[in-house]
Structure 1
Amino acid sequence: MRWKTHGERQIYTNEWVNLCLADVQQPDGQRLAYHVVRLRHLAVATVVNRRQEVLMMWRHRFITDSWAWELPMGLVEEGETPEETAAREVLEETGWRPGPIKPLIYAEPANGITDSQHHVFRADGATYAGPPTEKNESDRIEWIPLAKVRAMIDRREIVSSGSLVGLLYLLMDEAFR
């Protein structure tokens, strides 16, 4: 059952978000205006060291007024590949230069309302390059044992979709190695 789009117009736009109103027709023939949030794409990095620890950041999100652990992530810039973004974000946000980046999983976390694409990568190993250059990203940066991640998710210490998708896939991947 496919919805048909008759057109779309922007209601609001800035460098971060575009809010659009789409004229759609549902499979039953009903036609309606549907709000769509168009976002720039995101790259997420799961960096794992030899001790089976993952590089994470403890950060506050003002929108939900909550603290949680997150993987390094950021918006894909114009002219940049998602792989390049993932490597850049790890270095800027944590001060660690990741080893070779390889695709881990692709996700569209809220595709009923937004076109946001999450490109999640894995890097095995990293080299410390110095303090993070991004000063507004996190309170602390730690290597978290993979063995503790499931319990942290259960306790809602990890809640962002980009982090959850990457970590859950990483845990599944590690379980089958």
Structure 2
Amino acid sequence: MRWTVHGERTILDTPWVRLRSLDVEQPDGARVAYDVVRLRDLAVATAVDDQQRVLMMWRHRFVTDTWAWELPMGLVEDGESPEAAGARELEEETGYRPEVMRELIYAEPAAGITDSRHFVFRAEGARRVGEPSERNESDRLEWIPLADLPGMIARREIVSSATLVGVMALLLDLRA
């Protein structure tokens, strides 16, 4: 069943979030206002080394006041490809530059309320090129053994949906 959008009006518009009210017609014919969050695309990088470890950052998220391990990630800038954004974020946040970015998985984490698209890449041949240039992301980086990831997920040491999707896709990718 398809919903029809008849119009859209701005409620809030910031560089980070665009809140919109949509005039929609539901399949049963009812017309309602439906609020949605419009977000920019997100690129995520999973850098794996030859020892079967993934590069992760220990981060504090002030919105939820939680600490957890995350993959390097960030917003895709206007005119930038998701692959380029993933490589840029990896270098800015960790100081590692990939040779190749290979698409690992695509996700829409909350398609009923937001249009956010997550592009997750496997960063191949990542090598250290310097210190991270982004100083507000993390002060702790570690190469985590892939075998440790399931336990970390179970202990809620990995909770970000973009990171969860990325590490689970990475684990599936290794089995193929």
In the superposition, the TM-score normalised over structure 2's length comes to 0.98
Partner of 2:100: 100
- Counterpart CA distance in 2 for 1:27 and 1:57 is 44
- Whether 2:67 is the aligned partner of 1:67: answer yes
Deviation at 1:125, TM superposition (A): 2.7
CA RMSD in angstroms, aligned pairs only: 0.8
Identity %: 65
CA distance in 1, matches of 2:44, 2:83: 9
Q: Give a deviation string over 1:78-125, Cα, whole Å, max 9, x none.
A: 121110000000000001112210111110001110000001100123
Distance 2:50 2:14 in 1: 42
Give the Å deviation of 1:134. Answer: 0.4
Report the Cα distance in structure 2 between the residues aligned to 1:117 and 1:106, rounded to whole angstroms.
7
| Superposition map of 1:1-177 within 5 A | 1-176=1-176
Report the CA distance between 1:161 and its aligned residue.
Answer: 1.0
User: Which stretches of structure 1, 4 residues or more, deviate above 3 A after TM superposition?
Assistant: none
Shift of 1:4: 1.1
Query: What amino acid does structure 1 have at the position aligned with 2:71?
Result: L
Name the SS of the counterpart of 1:24 in structure 2.
strand
Amino acid at match of 1:61: R
Secondary structure at the aligned position of 1:111 is classed as coil
Code of the residue aligned with 1:77 in structure 2: it is E
Counterpart-to-counterpart distance in 2, 1:75 and 1:42: 5
Rounded Cα–Cα distance in structure 1 between residues aligned with 2:145 and 2:31: 51
Shift of residue 77, structure 1, vs aligned partner: 0.6
**Secondary structure, in 3 states, of the residue corresponding to 2:115?**
coil
Q: Which runs of 5+ in 1 are unaligned?
A: none
> What one-letter code is carried by the residue in structure 1 that aligns with 2:173?
D
Structure 1 residue 31: Cα displacement: 1.4
Deviation at 1:139, TM superposition (A): 2.6
Matched position secondary structure for 1:168: helix
Report the Cα offset of residue 20 of structure 1: 0.1
Q: Deviations over 1:138-166 (max 9, x none)?
A: 13001000000011011111111111111
Between the aligned partners of 2:105 and 2:16, the Cα distance in structure 1 is 23
Structure 2 letter corresponding to 1:70? E
